[in-house]
Amino acid sequence: MAIFKGAAVALITPMNADGSLNYDSMGKLIDYQIENGTDAFVICGTTGEPSTMTHEEHIETIRFAVSYINKRVPVIAGASSNCTATEVYLSEESKKAGADALLLVSPYYNKATQNGLYEHFGAAARAVDLPIILYNIPGRTGVNIQPATVKRLVDDFDNIVGMKDATGNIEQTMSTMALCDGKLDLYSGNDDQITPILAAGGLGVISVLSHVAPRDTHNIVEYFLNGRVQESIGLQHKYHALIKALFSEVNPIPVKKALNLMGMNAGPLRLPLTEMEPRNAAVLEAEMKKLGII
């Protein structure tokens, strides 16, 4: 059974003015998302800024989210690291915290060979029995999980069950799905490519757009899976310019700006991320106004 179908929000981590974590605002964001149809949460994924958290903050954020969400929808814990031992540690702690599944990105900066990727992900799969979603985003990590490697992983580890695909390479996506022959649950990692990934056999999206348009992001998936394909494509097109604005600077800079414009108290970013450039912020605000979000 799939971990989820639909739209999972890759949740930001709200922060206070001094850079400390703001769990009060996180709780309000969680309630807003659930009330507007979000199907699952990714906590401490890239959008949640875990690379600037201490391990203790990372684990406590997952623990808080699991407790607050309280089984209303699945919680997928980001447990990624470019150090395999740290990845295993965060995976084990995420299970103890009560997460329903893990999201694991390929190692960044030090990279890895395809065999290294197999061993890296395999180490987490051996350590915990939670379902695992691989995250392939070579634009940020500098390494691509090849289709043959994905097949090897899903064949050898029963708990490696899904992939968040942010490659932007639909031919590779189709090759991966064909090789895995029904063993892999596919999710879009790019908000501007939800419907193409659904057409390739996907079950949903792990989304940034969901922060500002949760109901319609959910509906893009629901409509498509229920045969209302043209309505789904229409929504995909409706939000194209906003999605472009949400990724005009490195994620999560624009989405935190968007939430602050909505009065959601996302707070600041931790360095090395900085506030959005005024020119790009003006475009984002204009697109949000055009769609009636603010």
**Quick check: is 164 catalytic?**
yes
**Quick check: is 118 catalytic?**
no
Q: Residue 272 burial (CB < 10 Å; 0-12/13-18/19+)?
A: exposed
Selecting among 118, 135, 187, 239, the annotated active-site residue is 135
In the block, residue with structure tokens 């908000």: 191
d(CA 8, CA 4): 8
CB 231 within 8 A of CB 214: no
Selecting among 95, 151, 164, 257, the annotated active-site residue is 164
Q: Which residues are catalytic?
A: 135, 164
